[in-house]
């Protein structure tokens, strides 16, 4: 793709109504964001498994093995999406997972608010995942690589996956006032 000369606003001087987006940013941003998020949850400052067990009160289904499989699968899938991202299926995969990450950012905000404690992952979830969802959807639509129908369908698929995940892991059993802060 030949990118026309851009003016100071990031818009083409030949096409003033079009914003040009560097496709590699759209391809690799979800993987980069998820890597930062997993690092925050488990390495620095870490503590997500312990916090989650406290938040839930009874989180036997969410053990180290489960968390490793889920996060490894997420990172591998985002890598595959970046590799296949220039295809319609790759774009749809990246959009669906961007919506899942977006909802995870909201979940961290809500869980931290509800528990009155720091939810490991809330910083990257808020500062990276929330803007990422908007960036990915608007970027792929603007490039013409995703239709509004594809965007809507991937968003609905992501919502269904998040609903199923909630049913598997359940909701909090502690009242917010009984959840100790770390």
Model confidence at 78: pLDDT above 90: yes
pLDDT tens, residue by residue, 100-155: 999 999 999 999 999 999 999 999 999 999 999 999 999 999 888 899 999 999 99
In the chain, the number of structural domains is: 1
**Confidence at residue 22, expressed as pLDDT on a 0 to 100 scale:** 79
Model confidence at 12: pLDDT above 70: no
With respect to residue 71, please indicate whether it lies within any of the assigned structural domains: yes
**Percent of the chain residues past pLDDT 90, beyond the cut:** 62
- Average pLDDT for the chain: 83
Cα-based torsion angle of the residue sequence 144, 147, 152, 157 in order, rounded to the nearest 10 degrees: -90
List all residues 6 or more positions away from 10 whose beta carbon is below 8 Å from its beta carbon: 19, 20
- The CA distances from residue 158 to 40, 46, 102, 133, 164, in Å, are 23, 26, 10, 12, 10
List all residues 6 or more positions away from 47 whose beta carbon is below 8 Å from its beta carbon: 120, 182
Spatial contact of 10 and 20, defined as CB atoms under 8 Å apart: yes
With respect to residue 176, please indicate whether it lies within any of the assigned structural domains: no
What is the average pLDDT across 50-58?
Answer: 85
With respect to residue 3, please indicate whether it lies within any of the assigned structural domains: no
Model confidence at 28: pLDDT above 60: yes
Q: 29 is in which domain, residue-wise? A: 23-171
Spatial contact of 49 and 67, defined as CB atoms under 8 Å apart: yes
With respect to residue 15, please indicate whether it lies within any of the assigned structural domains: no
pLDDT tens, residue by residue, 80-109: 999 998 899 999 999 999 999 999 999 999
């Amino acid at each position: 793709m030949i990118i026309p000369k851009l003016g100071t606003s990031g818009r083409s001087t030949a096409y003033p109504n079009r914003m040009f987006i560097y496709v590699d940013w759209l391809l690799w941003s979800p993987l980069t964001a998820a890597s930062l998020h997993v690092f925050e949850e488990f390495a620095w400052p870490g503590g997500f498994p312990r916090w989650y067990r406290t938040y839930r009160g009874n989180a036997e289904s969410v053990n180290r093995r489960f968390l490793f499989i889920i996060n490894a699968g997420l990172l591998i899938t985002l890598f595959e999406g970046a590799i296949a991202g220039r295809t319609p299926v790759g774009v749809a995969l990246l959009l669906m997972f961007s919506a899942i990450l977006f909802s995870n950012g909201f979940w961290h905000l809500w869980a931290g608010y509800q528990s009155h404690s720091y939810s490991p992952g809330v910083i990257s979830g808020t500062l990276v995942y929330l803007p990422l969802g908007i960036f990915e959807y608007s970027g792929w639509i603007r490039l013409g690589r995703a239709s509004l129908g594809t965007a809507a369908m991937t968003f609905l698929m992501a919502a269904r996956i998040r609903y199923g995940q909630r049913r598997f892991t359940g909701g909090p059993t502690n009242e917010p006032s009984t959840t100790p802060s770390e």
